[in-house]
Each structure stands twice: as C-alpha cells, then as structure tokens.
Structure 1
Amino acid sequence: MKYMLRTLFSVSLLLAVTLNSHAAVILQYHHVSDTTPASTSISPKQFEVHLQYLKDNNFKVVPLSELVEGIKKQQPLPDKSVAITFDDAYTDVLTQAKPILNKFSFPYTIYVNPGIINRNESKSTSPYLSWIQLKALADEGVIIANHGYEHDSMVRIAEGVTQAQWLKKQTQLLLKAEAIIKDNTGQSWRYYAYPYGEYDLAVQAWAKENDFVAFSQQSGAIDLTTDLTSVPRFPASKPYDKISGLRDKLNSLAFNIRLEGEQAETIFKHKKTKSITFAIETGDFYKSALNCYISGLGKQKITWNDDKSFSINFSKDLPVGRVRANCTAASISKPGRYYWYSKPWFILKDDGSWYHL
C-alpha cells in the first residue's frame, strides 16, 4: 500500500512538473518595414524568416486568446506554442506583415490606441490603420486589443495629481478605449498592453481590479504560473531580430521566480537600490547553471541563500532608464532548452524625475 501511494505521488508530481513545463512564447513587433525607425522595426524579409523558422521547427502558432484562456482555466498550454502580436496598429502591419502571415496561415493580435487612430483617420496618408481596415482584419479573425486610449505611460503621473486620481482617470480612458474598439470591430477581449512596457505594483493591481489581462515588454516564456497582470513578451524587432538570438527565446521555458514586498517594485531612484533577492523553484536545473545579466552591468554574481532563494548584490548602480535583469538556466529534463525570466526596472534620475522616452 505504501509503495502504491509513493508511486501515485511520484506520478502525480511528474505529471504536474510536465504540465507546468509546457511553455509558450509571445512575440512583440511594431513595424514591418525597411523604412521605419530601426528600434521598432523588422524588415519584411526578416519577418518572413521568423515565420519560416516557426513552421520548419514545428512551433504551433496560436491566437493569443488560446494562451490566455489556458492560463485562466489552468489547462495545459501546448508546448512550443507561439502568439504573434503587434503594438500601435501601423499600416505596414496590413501592407507588409499581413501577406506574409497569410502565406503561413498564422493568427495574430494588434494592439491599438483609439485616440491616435481617431485623430489620424481624416489624413490622406496616415501611418496608422483606420477603423475600416481594423474591422476588416477583425472579421478575418485578427484579435484587436487595447493599448490605451492614447499611448500614455501608466506610471508617469502628471504633476499635482495623486496616484488615486491618476488611476481613476486612466480607468475612464481604458474603458473608453475598450468601448470604442468594440463599437468599431465587434471585439472586446480586455487585453491591455502597457504603453512603453511601464508599470508598477499599483498598476498591476489596477489592471486586475478592472478585469484586464495586461501585457508587458520584458522577456520570458509563459506557463500556467504566469501573472496575468504582467504577461511577458519577447521583443522580436531590431536589434533582436536575428534567428541566432531568437532561437533560444522561442525554445525557452517559463521560470517560476518571485519577488516579494518592496523588492517586487519596478520603479526606483538612481542609486537607491543595491541588491535583489529572488524566490525560486529549483527543480529542473543545476544551481551552477543559473546566470543573471543586467542591462548596463553585465553578468552578475549570484549568491544562493538556500534551495529556494538567491540574491544579487549589483556590481554597480543600476543605470537611469529602462533596465532589465535576465536570468536563464539550462533545463535538465529538456536538453537544449533554457528557463528564462526577466525583471524590468524603471530607474529615475537622482532628483526623482523621469528619463526621456
């Protein structure tokens, strides 16, 4: 009897690990063009290279909604599944990306700013898709989602406004945007991509209170443990558009790493944070294989506190601006694949003011 119980427990544990190790990846693009700013663009030729790689390597490209609903319902995600997303609804998504996507029959999502679209609709040459174009795409099955009424950062609070007042205003704008999207496309997914990828704990709580799934811009795979108030996406435009770099990201596994209390915050003044401590599940990788890199600082020394937590004492002060910590470790059970976790920080200037966008 004891042997049977141990066996059942072992099988259940193995099944749980297996299901949770089924990982998906969300790719983030903006422009698909040879003539738009390089920092937010991928060439049509290289975009097709990406899609051909997905097809040739048996990735399952799925609608974003399939991944979100899987997490909500705690149903296993198809391993090596990928969702494709575009921010800002530029016209080249229609003119350049769509023919390539149609060639592969791949679904995709477009995040839109209704206020910006409304202002540009009357222009003879607009860089943004019109509501007529977006409705036609929606009728073909493209998911049209919310990127905010305007493209305002959620954490850059206007001077003289309290955080409560700011979030109240942003609630009105977010719901206004969602209503406009529904009126013009017939869709209301309550998916929200943070403009500039900027958010903090209060904004995450706000997204949850308003029943929105929120998407960020830090890297990382997703699985059933993913926090639906900061769903990671891999930027796939320049300079991250080379297959040599994208390959590991597409094959990555979700890393169950947590930050608690003040350490979970994303906004700090320059020189005001010196270290970080992560809680982590250590089942399927060797401690010696864990590596963490911080933008502007490089590879960091890791100190294990116990089997469930490790710390980093930053080698230098985190630089002003957008900063990322990327932690990866090779999987034992899935050779050739890596666990991948990313933590964003938004480091203010010494006087507490924001860096330029």
Structure 2
Amino acid sequence: MFTKLLTFVVFISSVLFSLLITCEAAVILQYHHVSDTTPKSTSISPNQFERHLQYLTDHQFNVVPLPELVSALKSKQTLPDKTVAITFDDAYNDILLQAKPLLDKFGFPFTIFINPKLLSNNANHYLSWSQITALAKLPNQQVTLANHGLTHDSFARKPKNRTKDEWFEQQTQDLLLAEKLIAKHTGQTWRFFAYPYGEYTLELQTWLRENQFTAFTQQSGAVGLHTDLTIIPRFPASQPYDQLDSLKDKLYSLPLNISVINETINNKISETKTIARYNTISSVNFEVQTKDFYPKSLNCYVSGLGKQKIKWLSQERFSIEFSGPLPIGRVRSNCTAPSINNPERYYWFSQPWFILNTDGSWYPL
C-alpha cells in the first residue's frame, strides 16, 4: 500500500513539475521584411509568413501582445503554455502592406520596433508617422510601437573620435529622445528597446536596468521567469530560418535557466564579456539551474566551429574549451537539451559574443 502511495505521489509531482515547466515557457519571433523583393537575409515571403501564422492557429498557440508577456515576466506570473509574441524590427513599409492584412486575418497582435529619425527621413522605405499614428489608434492595443533607437546605429561601436563617456551619454540621451518621440506620435511608452544589430554591452545593460527599460536581443532562445530582462531572446524567423521544420522546434522550446560564469581570456580568468578581440576568448563556464534534463543530453554549437565538447565540473556547472578561435563577427553558442518530463520539447539557450578584428576594429555590419 505504501509503495503504491509513494508511486502515486511521485507521479503527481512529476506531472505538476511538467506543467510548471511548460507554463513558464514563451517564445518571441523576430521578423523584418515581409516581401518577395527585399534582401533575403532580412525577409520572409508573404506566403511563408502566412504559413507561420496558420501553424500557430492550427496548433493552438497563445499569441499575445508583447506588453502582456513582459508584464507576466516582471511580476513572475506564469503564462499559458505555448505563448508567442510576434515582433518586427525597423518599421518597413511592407509590414503594413503585406504583414498586417495576414495578421488581421488571424487576429494576432504584434509589435513594431521603430527608429524615429529614419521614419522622418526615409519615407520611401519606412512607415510614415501618420501611418504609425493610425496603427497606434487601432482598438484593443493590437499594435505595440516600441523603441529601436533614434537611428539604427549600434549601441556597442564607439567612434574613434569620441570619448567613451561622451559617446555613451549621447547614445542614451538619443534613446530617451526616441522614446519621447514615440510617445508623442502614438501615445505609447512601454520602455521596450530592441538592440540594433543585436549588439550590446554590459554597461548599456546596467543603464537600461536602472532606467526601467526592457531590452530585446537577436540571439535565439525561449523566454521564462528567470530571463534577464535586459537581454530577452527572440528567434529570428526570416530566411534562412523561415522553414516550418526548424521553426516548430523553436516554437515548442523551453527556457534553459543558465548563466555565464566567466571566460578564459589570454589564459586568465576574466569577468564575462560580450565584446573581445579575435583569438582572445578560449573557453567559457556556465552554471545551470534547470534540472529537467540529463547532462549527457546537452549539446552546444558555436557559430563557425560546430558542436563543442562539454566538460561537466559539477552537477550545476560545465565548461566549453572552444575547438578554435571564435570567428570575427557576431558569434553565438546555442545550447539545447531535451526535457525529461516533455521529451519532445527542448530547452534552448543562446550566448552571443561580438568578436572584433585583431587590431580592435569592428567587423562590417
């Protein structure tokens, strides 16, 4: 009798744990152009975009406005399983012409991250302020307008002719000005910020946190209650990542509660850095809080280097000694592992690095 009771308790605990894991999971999709005629690297065709939306409908995903998702994260409230938010960067014309009619067809809310100065100067490519204002007045807050910087300049690339302090002050003041302009034209001020090119620094993260901004990156990964609100991941869903076979795994992914402990730079242990010169980062240590996967099932892949060998240092920590120098450019390590309680779903975490040339200069955008 006792054995049966114990088995039942274990079963119930497993089910409850499984439900907790899945209800904490959300995914944010990132798009740019919805068009057949724009650069493929930032585009998805209207037909393929409609397939994405149809898949979300057919499989009963919970598509919510981005503010609803962020509010739940901030208040540590669980979300319905399979929660998704749809975002667009740069406010291109085709979002209104091609994407919105399809989103309306399915009744899905969405977010546009805009650069106010570009809207004023490049009306042939971007939505106008009058169009943005009209979108903001739609009922039920179906369209969220948010901050992508005053222009589309990187917030990590300091010009050589500026001091670090004066440049940082100008960048943050421009970001605040962009927020004011968005509020003026739309009545919305969410203090959501998407990093241009996905590039950021630890100093900028600190400033954003202190000034109550929520920030979004371009590296992959699911979102959960432990996600850092200054580097919320989004899955790029434009080409070549627009195929449904690969998108399905991402939509069902779970947030891996993991953090970078340190890196070995020039054979010395250093604090975590997002920016480094070529051939200076040789390894990285991670600490994992998630318990719902087998250590041997964890796989980590690095841009340009492929699958990396993982060395477990303890039950919570592992290290990767890179098989070669991290390539120059935007580099990501994607780590995934199948859930024990939901074997068909994968935990997903991505760590970005921005690797400079050997002379410290930036790679081309």
TM score, norm. by length of structure 2 = 0.91
In the alignment, which residue of structure 1 is the partner of 2:81?
Answer: 79
Alignment of 1:210 onto 2:208: no
- Contact kept, 8 Å, 1:280 with 1:309, in 2: the verdict is yes
Distance in 1, Cα, partners of 2:16 & 2:201: 34
Structure 1 residues 273-284: aligned runs within 5 Å:
273-284=281-292
* Cross-structure match for 1:31: 33
Does the Cα contact within 8 Å between 1:216 and 1:230 map onto a contact in 2? yes
CA deviation after TM superposition for structure 1 residue 64, in Å? 0.4
1:257 aligns with 2:271: no
Q: CA deviation at 1:171?
A: 1.6
Alignment of 1:108-257 (within 5 A): 108-121=110-123, 126-140=124-138, 141=141, 142-257=143-258
Structure 1: how far apart are the matches of 2:339 and 2:213?
A: 32
Answer whether contact 2:261 2:284 (CA < 8 A) is retained: no
Question: 301, 305, 309: which one pairs with 2:317?
Answer: 309
Q: Which residue of 2 aligns with 1:3?
A: none
Cα gap change, 1:263 to 1:312, in 2 (>3 Å)? farther
What does the per-residue CA deviation read over 1:16-37, in whole Å, with 9 as the maximum and x for residues that have no partner? Answer: 7743542000000000000000
Distance 2:194 2:137 in 1: 22
Aligned-pair CA distance for 1:12: 9.0
User: What is the CA distance between 1:282 and its match in structure 2?
Assistant: 4.4
Question: Is the 2:339–2:346 contact (alpha carbons within 8 Å) kept by the matching residues of 1?
Answer: yes
Matches of 2:337 and 2:304 in 1, distance apart? 21
Name the SS for the 1:98 alignment partner: helix
The one-character-per-residue Cα deviations of 1:301-326 (angstroms, maximum 9, x if unpaired) are 00000000000000011110011100
Partner of 1:98: 100
Structure 1 vs Structure 2: percent identity of aligned residues? 58
CA RMSD of aligned residues (A): 1.9
Deviation for aligned residue 1:252: 0.1
- Measured in 2, the distance between the counterparts of 1:247 and 1:18 equals 20
Provide the TM-score with structure 1 as the length reference.
Answer: 0.93
**Distance in 2 of aligned mates of 1:331 and 1:44:** 34
SS at match of 1:260: strand
1:107 maps to which of 90, 102, 109: 109
* Residue 295 (str. 1) matches residue 293 (str. 2): no
2:119, 2:161 → 1: CA distance?
A: 29
Give 1:343's aligned residue.
351
Equivalent residues of 1:263, 1:276 under 8 A apart: no
Could you say if the C-alpha distance between residues 163 and 21 of structure 1 is closer, same or farther in structure 2, counting changes exceeding 3 Å?
Answer: farther
Relative to 1, partners in 2 of residues 1:24 and 1:275: Cα closer, same or farther, differing over 3 Å?
Answer: same
Q: Is 15-24 or 87-96 further displaced after alignment?
A: 15-24
Question: What code does the residue aligned with 1:107 have?
Answer: P
- Cα distance in 2, alignment partners of residues 263 and 138 from structure 1: 42
> Displacement of 1:260 after TM fit?
2.9
Structure 2 contact 31–87 (Cα < 8 Å) conserved: yes
Unaligned runs of 5+ in 1: 1-6
- Kept in 2, the 8 Å contact 1:21–1:223? The answer is no
Q: CA deviation at 1:347?
A: 0.3
Query: Contact between 2:258 and 2:290, CA under 8 Å: does it hold in 1?
Result: no
The alignment covers a number of residue pairs equal to 347
The whole-number CA distance in structure 1 between the counterparts of 2:20 and 2:272 is 27
Give yes or no for contact 1:90–1:129 (8 Å, CA) kept in 2: yes
Give the whole-Å Cα distance in 1 for the aligned partners of 2:146 and 2:19: 31
What letter corresponds to residue 229 of structure 2 in structure 1?
L
Q: Report deviation, 1:13.
A: 10
Structure 2: 5+ residue runs without aligned partners? Answer: 1-7, 263-269
Return closer, same or farther for 1:27/1:174 CA change in 2, 3 Å cut-off: same
Alpha-carbon distance in 2 for matches of 1:32, 1:100: 10
> What secondary structure is seen at the aligned counterpart in 2 of 1:277?
strand
2:339 is matched with which residue?
A: 331
Structure 1 contact 114–181 (Cα < 8 Å) conserved? yes
